[in-house]
């Protein structure tokens, strides 16, 4: 029997909940009517479900929204990493297994999914195992192609080749300066970006044990590249409805990665936006409109 605790944000109506899954406490945000189409929001690095709070508020009168924090992120359990002396393996395979179990526990087996950054390899693992669960995909700077590995990903690629030598460089990507840069690089109007977004991301990165967790996951990101052909085959076979609201100035997952989807999904709806990596920081209104229209056309 699943155990829940619940609190509700009185300003937005977003419910904050914690549920036990596989011995972990998984925190998630939920909003909207339960009988509306469901959108599962899978967050990126170095964020957590808080990155979707404003989007959830804007869609909550007509969409059922679920946004979990992965193990090691946000308010969810963060057991010590196996590489740091603990017994929990932080990998994309394991994270996807936990989020899949989370969805099963909640009885969610038909949904749209929003995948961004780390959320893409987690979501695509689940979709490849359960293609009948997926009503449609919103891929916002969520990569599935080698051509989409941009210049800011190249130090990570080198980390896979020479882990020990590159580790100090990767640790540098976990600093406050680097987190701020992720949010501001490529933005059209940097002054419009709320500094709370990177401050909150960094708060969680600075928690004890989190640095090693992120190092583990960034090293394991190579497992995602190995699975790109399988995910592309899933797209070609099942032709899921796909919306691509993509920040064209993103140096992690640039425009080439967005355009690559069109080879496998000719009907995918590509919208190149004048934004960087975290599109919702400054293009919230545009993305709300696109999602509203997309879900409206593809719900059944």
Query: Which residues are catalytically annotated?
Result: 277
Tokens of 33: 């009517």
Instruction: Tell which residue, 272, 140, 281, 152, has the closest CA to residue 221.
Output: 152
CA atoms within 13 A on the CB side of 52: 31
Q: What's the token pair of residue 135? A: 């009503």
Q: Roughly what angle, to the nearest 10 degrees, separates helices 176-184 and 196-205?
A: 140
- What one-character-per-residue DSSP string does 161-219 give? H-HHHHHHHHHHTTSHHHHHHHHHTT-S-GGGS-THHHHHHHHHHTSTTHHHHHHHHHH
d(CA 44, CA 92): 12
Nearest to 139 by CA among 294, 33, 300, 28: 294
- CA distance readout (Å), 286 to 8, 59, 137, 190, 281: 27, 12, 17, 17, 11
Of the candidates 103, 159, 155, which has an alpha carbon nearest to the alpha carbon of residue 129? Answer: 103
Rounded Cα distance, 240 and 265, in Å: 8
């Amino acid at each position: 029997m699943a155990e829940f605790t619940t609190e509700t944000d009185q300003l937005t109506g977003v419910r904050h909940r914690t549920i036990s899954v596989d011995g972990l406490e998984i925190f998630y945000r939920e909003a909207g009517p339960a009988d509306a189409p469901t959108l599962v929001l899978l967050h990126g690095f170095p964020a957590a479900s808080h990155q979707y709070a404003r989007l959830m508020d804007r869609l909550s009168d007509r969409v059922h929204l679920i946004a979990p924090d992965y193990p090691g992120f946000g308010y969810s359990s963060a057991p010590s990493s196996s590489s740091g002396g603990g017994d929990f393996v932080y990998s994309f395979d394991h994270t996807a297994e936990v989020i899949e179990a989370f969805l099963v526990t909640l009885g969610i087996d038909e949904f749209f999914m929003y995948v961004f950054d780390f959320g893409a390899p987690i979501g695509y693992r689940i979709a490849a195992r359960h293609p009948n669960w997926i009503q449609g995909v919103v891929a916002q700077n969520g990569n599935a192609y080698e051509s989409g590995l941009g210049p800011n990903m190249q130090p990570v690629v080198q980390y896979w080749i020479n882990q020990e030598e590159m580790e100090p460089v990767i640790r540098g990507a976990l600093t406050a300066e680097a987190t701020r840069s992720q949010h501001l690089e490529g933005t059209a109007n940097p002054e419009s970006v709320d500094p709370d977004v990177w401050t909150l991301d960094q708060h969680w990165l600075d928690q004890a044990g989190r640095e090693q967790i992120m190092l583990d996951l960034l090293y394991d990101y190579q497992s995602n590249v190995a699975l790109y052909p399988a995910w592309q085959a899933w797209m070609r076979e099942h032709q899921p409805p796909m919306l691509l609201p993509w920040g064209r100035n993103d140096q992690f997952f640039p425009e080439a990665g967005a355009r690559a989807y069109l080879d496998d999904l000719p009907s995918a709806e590509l919208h190149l936006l004048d934004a960087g990596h975290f599109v919702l920081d400054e293009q919230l209104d545009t993305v709300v409109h696109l999602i509203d229209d997309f879900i409206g056309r593809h719900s059944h």
